[in-house]
Structure 1
Amino acid sequence: MCERNSSSQDDPTPKSRAVEAVHVDCGQAPNVHAGHCRGDPRRRRSARRVTGSGSAGNIRIERQIAPAHPDTVEVLAGLIAELDSATEAGEFYDDVCEALCRLTSMRRAGILLYDPATRAVRFVGSHGIDREIVGEIEGTLDETPLAQRALAEDRVVEASEHLEREVPERYARYAGATTLTCTPVAAGGRWLGIILADRGGGHFAPSDEERQTMLTLGRLAALAASVERATRQDERAHRLAERIGLVREIHDRVMQRLFGLVLVFGSGEALSAEERRACHDELQTVLGDLRSALGRPLGSREPTRADLRSVIERRAERTPELAVDWPAGIEVPERLEELAQSVFVEALRNCEKHARPTRIEVSLASTGDAFELEIANDGTGSAGPGAGLGLRLLTLEALQQDALVEFGPLPDGGWRVRMVGAVE
């Protein structure tokens, strides 16, 4: 968080937002003093004056707020109104970027928010930036020192020299950027993302007024992101509760009955005709309960914004141990796209949490009427309590889509996650 100067304890106005002026009246230049006292009426209304007497005359200290852009209040009011309407999140973030460029001298701006699914930041809104560029850029906080400083210090920062040291080198000179500003998108101590902006080339430094405007818009974007994240968490919690309920239902209505049948058939004792009929009826009931449970519709996942190929490619950019074998002509069936992405992301997440691999192999294949995705790694590690719950829930979700997800250790000590689904 940003440091506060000790002198601000009796003055709620931070130094970064004000311009200080000291006026000395020796009684010999009243006109000069009067002129300084009047000044711009917009500045005068925000001034704080401390007057004292001494042999040198009267000393007046004024702290004056830089004048706000005349459209700032109107623009902010419009954005706040959008928060309360049915505006799509993407459109709102686009509008925030447009407002930033309208109220400052910036020509291009983009909001990047952290995506827990890919564990990276991605563009959610932009203005003045080619949409193709927006779709290609993705990174992490670790490889972006500029964002680290903006978030840690809670202020607008800029960089002009050695941009390759401040942002991922692959994006350092993207679209002719020379000086780049970074505004934190944070609220309540939570780092949600950043706003990157520039003037389309050339060296510059934003004014204090521009910095304050950008910081205000960053706070507004953080408010929207917090609401959006809370909504998604509620939806995920609801879906998780549904899936856990399904697991419990299968355990109570299916697994216990199957366990009883296994005990009967494994006893080695001869069964009478009546007992065999009873076992047959019980088995039919178990199968009926299983079909009923698996046929129950579960809450749908939120729509995916990308395809499996782009998700894998972006992950490979920052995961050097990731090797991909994607033969030409292999396509992911549209109905399995979201499931395949979920399996890939969950497999990589488990790999990061429970193993230290030197190589992660991702392979895709299509054999006849079946599509296959496999993620294997050579790492080993002990899993803690609750490990693998995400994959277990995916196995149930796969069954509802005529697919199969299996996972487990490999003979050489590694670990494999495999998904197989019908093409049609």
Structure 2
Amino acid sequence: MGPPRAPVVGPSTRRSPVVAGDRGARGPCGASHTPSRTRTPRGYAAPVTSEAHHAEHQSAAVVAADALGVFVRAMAGIEQATPESAGFYDGLCEAVCRAVQVDRAVMFLYDEGRRRVRPVGSHLIDRERFPVEGVGIEDAPLSRVALEEDRVVDALDTTGDVLGRPDLAQLPEGDLAYVPIAAGGTWYGVMVVEQSSGEPLEGPQRDALWIAGKVVAFAAEARRATRHQEQARQLEHRLLLVRQVHEQVIQRLFGLNLVLGSGAALEGEALERARTEVEATQADLRQLLHGPQLTTGAPTAMRLAEEVERLRRAHATVELRADLEEGVEIPLPLESLAQSVLGEAVRNALKHGEPTILHVSLTRRDDALSLTIDSDGVHGAAGAPSGSGLGLRLAAVEALQVGGLLEFGARGEGEWRVRLLLPTTDENEVGG
């Protein structure tokens, strides 16, 4: 699950706030650059000279160029920054306020680890005032307009019932503007700035804010592209591993199955040969699984209980029951695997059947954790979801690499079970 995609809107199609009588050309942020008139608090004044118009554009270019330099310097640590890097984003918000001459700012970004939009940095605005569970675009009509039209939206010059309603009750009261953080058709977030002048933002300010949003978005897009390259590399390695397991292990097991299924007693040389094949199979598996560790899901800061609640909200048509043993938690390095298995199990249940109940349980027995997902309403005579395969099979390989086990199959008529067994400690962490 990633940030929502949106239609790519080019500069020529972005719209500005509706102002009566405004027929000028549009700048990169939708700000009006009318060649013959200048805007005043009451509307439009007398025509200005070409010299004044040239000076106005030169001033806008200087402001935008200076702001770009500030933003680029402020973004120097973006490669190491995560949504948890509050200090970095606080500094970025402060740099925006200084460069654009606005009073306060708060930045909201999509947190892939938590799968929600939340405040990551601010300047002179307390982030603790915003809900812990994050915010939704349905609660932010002005932010939606900013993202959809890829322009800076100033609340002072918006009209209409929807646009006139401020975003988020937790935002400070004041003259707010909403800056889109979007690139390549992907919405990454919004920055909200406040100024106390009582006047709408000027064109150069809008341009500088729009540039700030683009700098942040391009950095996020670069990180996303890097992650996709890593995922493609891992997928290639997984497919190679599956092929090697088939060639080196499955064929040995097939031969053993023929021998053991013949019904003949194993004695002497035949028994020794079978024992040798079992040992060779174990050695092959051990060698294959000691390669680069695979990961089926993105690193996450969420806990299993939070992910269960997120899935419950996302799939309101199905009753999702959670029975998580009190005091039992999955080691944080293994949370990504556990949540990946949970998500895959829920997707398979919804895709290949019509479940009414999804039951998720987490228990501990000695040094092992057991995560079980049971579903009903499975299609097929044998209760087996057709196509339930690659996602869970890849997760099964990762489970083996961390000392766990993943199994899935029919559990009675029309029922299906996925069970993940994990160690109570991350073996790679302990051993390394």
Q: Does 1:45 find its partner at 2:59? A: no
Q: Which whole-Å CA distance do the structure 1 matches of 2:337 and 2:243 have between them?
A: 22
Alignment correspondent of 2:20: none
Report the 3-state secondary structure (helix = DSSP H, G, I; strand = E; otherwise coil) of the residue aligned with 1:330. Answer: coil
Structure-1 separation of matches of 2:114 and 2:415: 23
Match of 1:110 in 2: 107
| Residue of 261, 280, 283 corresponding to 1:285 | 280
Residue matched to 1:333: 331
Structure-1 separation of matches of 2:140 and 2:413: 37
Match of 1:101? 97
Structure 1 residues 209 and 71: CA distance shift in structure 2, 3 A: closer
Please say if residues 26 and 33 of structure 2, whose CA atoms lie closer than 8 Å, have aligned partners that are also in contact: no
Equivalent positions of 1:84-233 (< 5 A) are 87-90=79-82, 93-102=89-98, 103-105=100-102, 107-113=104-110, 115=112, 120-132=116-128, 136-139=132-135, 141=137, 145-157=141-153, 172-174=168-170, 176=172, 181-188=177-184, 190-199=185-194, 206-233=201-228
Give the aligned partner of residue 253 of structure 2.
258
Corresponding residue of 1:16: 30
Q: How far 1:420 moved relative to its partner?
A: 1.9
Q: Which runs of 5+ in 2 are unaligned?
A: 1-8, 16-23, 38-44, 426-432
SS in 1 for 2:30: helix
| CA offset digits 1:134-155 (Å, max 9, x no partner) | 6824355567554443333222
CA distance, structure 2, for counterparts of residue 100 and residue 290 of structure 1? 55
Task: State the AA in 2 paired with 1:368.
Answer: D
Asked if residue 342 in structure 1 is aligned to residue 357 in structure 2, the reply is no
Deviates more, 1:215-224 or 1:98-107: 98-107
Task: Give secondary structure in 2 for the equivalent of 1:405.
Answer: strand
What's the CA shift for 1:283? 1.9
In the alignment, which residue of structure 2 is the partner of 1:267? 262
Taking structure 1 as the reference length, the TM-score comes to 0.73
SS at match of 2:182: strand
Conserved 8 A contact 2:142-2:178: yes
Aligned runs of 1:61-100 on 2, under 5 Å? 65=57, 67-68=59-60, 72-81=64-73, 87-90=79-82, 93-100=89-96
Alignment-derived partner of residue 49 in structure 1: none
8 Å contact 1:178–1:202 — kept in the other structure? no
Q: Distance in 1 between matches of 2:164 and 2:321?
A: 26
Q: Is the 8 A contact 1:182 1:195 kept in 2?
A: yes
Which string of whole-angstrom CA distances, capped at 9 and with x for unpartnered residues, describes residues 82-107 of structure 1? 65767523466554433333315251
Contact 1:394 1:405 in 2 (8 A): yes
Deviation string, structure 1 residues 392-423 (Cα, Å, up to 9, x no partner)? 11111112222222223443534433222232
- Corresponding residue number in structure 1 for 2:243: 248
In 2, Cα distance between equivalents of 1:4 and 1:181? 16
Report the secondary structure of 1:155's partner residue.
Answer: coil
Structure 1 unaligned spans of 5+: 24-31, 47-64
SS in 1 for 2:34: strand
Alignment partners' CA distance in 1, 2:29 and 2:283: 71
Distance 1:202-1:80 versus aligned 2 partners, 3 A rule:
closer
Q: Report the AA paired with residue 330 of structure 2.
A: V
The structural deviation recorded for 1:354 is 4.7
247-256 vs 309-318, which deviates more?
Answer: 309-318
Q: How much has 1:299 moved relative to structure 2?
A: 5.2
Identity of aligned residues (%): 36
Q: Is the 8 A contact 2:182 2:217 kept in 1?
A: yes
Q: Does the CA contact (< 8 Å) of 1:112 and 1:125 recur in 2? A: no
The 2-side partners of 1:143 and 1:380 are apart by 36
Instruction: Quote the offset at 1:230 in angstroms.
Output: 0.7
Choose from 337, 358, 361 the match for 1:360.
Answer: 358
- SS of corresponding position for 2:302: coil
1:124 deviates by 4.8
Give the drift of 1:67: 4.1
Q: Are the equivalent residues in 2 in contact too, given 1:177–1:201 (CA < 8 A)? A: no
User: Cα–Cα, structure 1 residues 421 and 352, in superposed 2: closer, same or farther, change >3 Å?
Assistant: same
**Which region of structure 1 is more displaced relative to structure 2, 239-248 or 121-130?**
121-130
Question: Number of paired residues?
Answer: 385
Question: Counterpart in 2 of 1:396?
Answer: 397
Residues 224, 296 of structure 1: alpha-carbon distance in 2 compared, 3 angstrom cutoff: same
CA distance in 2 between partners of 1:302 and 1:126 (Å): 26
Separation in structure 1 between the aligned mates of residue 59 and residue 379 of structure 2, nearest angstrom? 59
Contact 2:181 2:190 in 1 (8 A): yes
Q: Distance in 1 between matches of 2:357 and 2:259?
A: 46
Q: Is the 8 A contact 2:321 2:358 kept in 1?
A: yes
Cα deviations across residues 202-257 of structure 1 (Å, max 9, x unaligned)? 99854444332222222112211111001111112222223322222221111111
The Cα shift of 1:269 comes to: 4.1
Q: Aligned partners of 1:201, 1:374: CA distance in 2, in Å?
A: 55
On the 8 A contact 2:63/2:208 being kept in 1, the answer is no
Distance 1:262 1:200, change over 3 A: farther
Which residue identity does 2:324 align to in structure 1? W
Structure 1 counterpart SS, 2:181 = strand
> Does structure 1 conserve the Cα–Cα contact (< 8 Å) formed by 2:25 and 2:32?
no
- Bigger radius of gyration among the two: 1
Q: 1:15, CA displacement in angstroms?
A: 9.1
Query: Which residue of 296, 299, 304 maps to 2:300?
Result: 304
CA–CA distance in structure 2, aligned partners of residues 203 and 359 of structure 1: 54
Partner of 1:53: none
